[in-house]
Structures are given as C-alpha cells and as structure tokens.
C-alpha cells in the first residue's frame, strides 16, 4: 500500500511563520512573568525589612514607602523607595544609610558607593543642619517612634521633643537588590522550563 502526501513549500513557510510567532509570544509572556516574580521578591524583602527597621523618627507604611512599578510593556520592574518629590524628608534614606556619629557607614552599599580608597567621602553628620555630627545627640520635634534606635528617648527638658543619637544603617533596598539578583537564575529556570 502506498500513501501520497502533497505538501506545498508555501504551506510549510506559513506553518513555520505561525510557529515562530507563537514562540515569540510565549517568550514575551514568560519574560513578563519573570519580571513580575523577581521584582515581587524584591519588594517583599524591602517591605519586610523596612517594617522591622529601627528609626529615630516617624515611618510611613511599608506599602506606601516601597512600591513596585512596571514599564508600559511589562518587561521592566522597579522596586522604588519613597519618592523624594513627594516627601520632604525621606526616612528610607535615614534607614538605608544610617545617621549620626555613633553609627558610621557600615552598610555594604554605603561602603561601595560613598567611599574612595577606604575613606568615606561623605561623613555622617555633614548633611542638612549637620546635627548628626554632635556626639551628644540632637533633638527633633515629634512623637516617640514605635521602634526607636538604642539611646533614643523623650526629652523631658524640651517638651514635645525627642533626643536621638542617630541610627544604624539598615540596608533595606540593598537587600532587596541582592534578593532579586540571587533568585533570578532559579526563577528564570522555573518560568522558562514549564
């Protein structure tokens, strides 16, 4: 018995074009999923650490302090700390890099980005009103924070003021970045092997 199959080259080209389009569409869908999963891991770490961080002043909620933004095409995700344009004082910067002379730059990203040849380019206490350089601490108006750094206390001599010596660096955003980089290969394998 004999079977005869008639297949035209134009039909084969059409099938290959359809297959390529489907593959491109699948790769795009999986790439978007990868971006969502990896950036989602990052925002989760940042929010958790931000919530646990000590802070000499007030803190926003983790959801408003750290957001997740995607590009219009969904191929880029960003874990974003407090927008400096929306907030006059950005407590996330104080948490991330620390404040005061009792808490020198000890966060990994501070060492990497703010030092040159082993010496710190921007020493603590030299920003803003330069109160952080006072080894005896400084005062600010406000209420006692719920999770204050060691040594922070209500100032009985100055009603409505809090006395602080600053706070240690707590690398919330750096840890989120590390989490995203460390989990990327594993998440990519999971997303693209299905």
pLDDT at 107 over 60: no
**Torsion on CA atoms 57, 62, 65, 68, rounded to nearest 10:** 160
* Domain contains 4: no
% of residues, the chain, pLDDT over 70: 76
Give the residue numbers spanning the domain of 16. Answer: 9-192
3-class DSSP state of 111:
helix
Q: What is the pLDDT of residue 70?
A: 93
Q: What is the pLDDT of residue 11?
A: 75
Residues in the chain: 194
Q: What is the pLDDT of residue 124?
A: 63
- Of these ranges, 33-47, 98-112, 159-173, the one predicted with the greatest mean pLDDT is 33-47
Q: What is the mean pLDDT of the chain?
A: 80
Query: Structural domain tally of the chain?
Result: 1
* Domain contains 109: yes
Do 73 and 141 form a contact (C-beta atoms < 8 A)? no
Identify the sign of the CA torsion 160, 169, 115, 179. Answer: negative
Residue 164 pairs with which residues in a beta bridge? 138
Give the pLDDT band of residue 44 (cuts 50, 70, 90).
very high
CA nearest to 131, candidates 160, 106, 162: 162
CA distance 186 to 176: 16
CA distance 68 to 3: 59
Identify the sign of the CA torsion 98, 102, 105, 107. Answer: negative
Q: What is the pLDDT of residue 88?
A: 47
* Domain contains 2: no
* Domain contains 170: yes
Q: What is the pLDDT of residue 46?
A: 94
Considering only residues 115 and 80, tell me which one the structure prediction assigns the higher pLDDT.
Answer: 80
pLDDT at 85 over 50: yes
Q: What is the pLDDT of residue 23?
A: 92
* Domain contains 168: yes
* Domain contains 147: yes
* Domain contains 25: yes
User: CA dist 183 to 19, 110, 161, 179, 187, Å?
Assistant: 31, 23, 44, 6, 6
pLDDT at 110 over 70: no
pTM, two decimal places:
0.75
């Amino acid at each position: 018995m004999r079977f005869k199959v008639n297949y035209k080259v134009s039909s084969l080209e059409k099938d290959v074009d359809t297959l390529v389009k489907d593959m491109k569409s699948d790769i795009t869908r999986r790439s978007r999923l990868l971006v969502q999963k990896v950036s989602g891991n990052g925002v989760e770490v940042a929010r958790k650490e931000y919530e646990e961080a000590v802070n000499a002043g007030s803190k926003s909620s983790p959801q408003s302090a750290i957001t997740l933004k995607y590009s219009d095409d969904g191929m880029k995700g960003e874990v974003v700390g407090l927008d400096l344009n929306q907030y006059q004082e950005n407590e996330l910067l104080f948490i991330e890099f620390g404040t005061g002379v009792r808490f020198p730059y000890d966060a990994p990203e501070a060492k990497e980005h703010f030092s040159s040849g082993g010496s710190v380019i921007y020493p603590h206490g030299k920003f803003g009103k330069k109160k952080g350089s006072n080894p005896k601490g400084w005062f600010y108006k406000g209420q006692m924070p719920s999770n204050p750094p060691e040594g922070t206390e209500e100032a009985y001599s100055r009603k409505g003021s809090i006395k602080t010596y600053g706070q240690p660096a707590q690398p919330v955003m750096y840890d989120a970045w590390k989490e995203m980089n460390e989990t990327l290969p594993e998440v990519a394998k999971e997303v693209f092997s299905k």
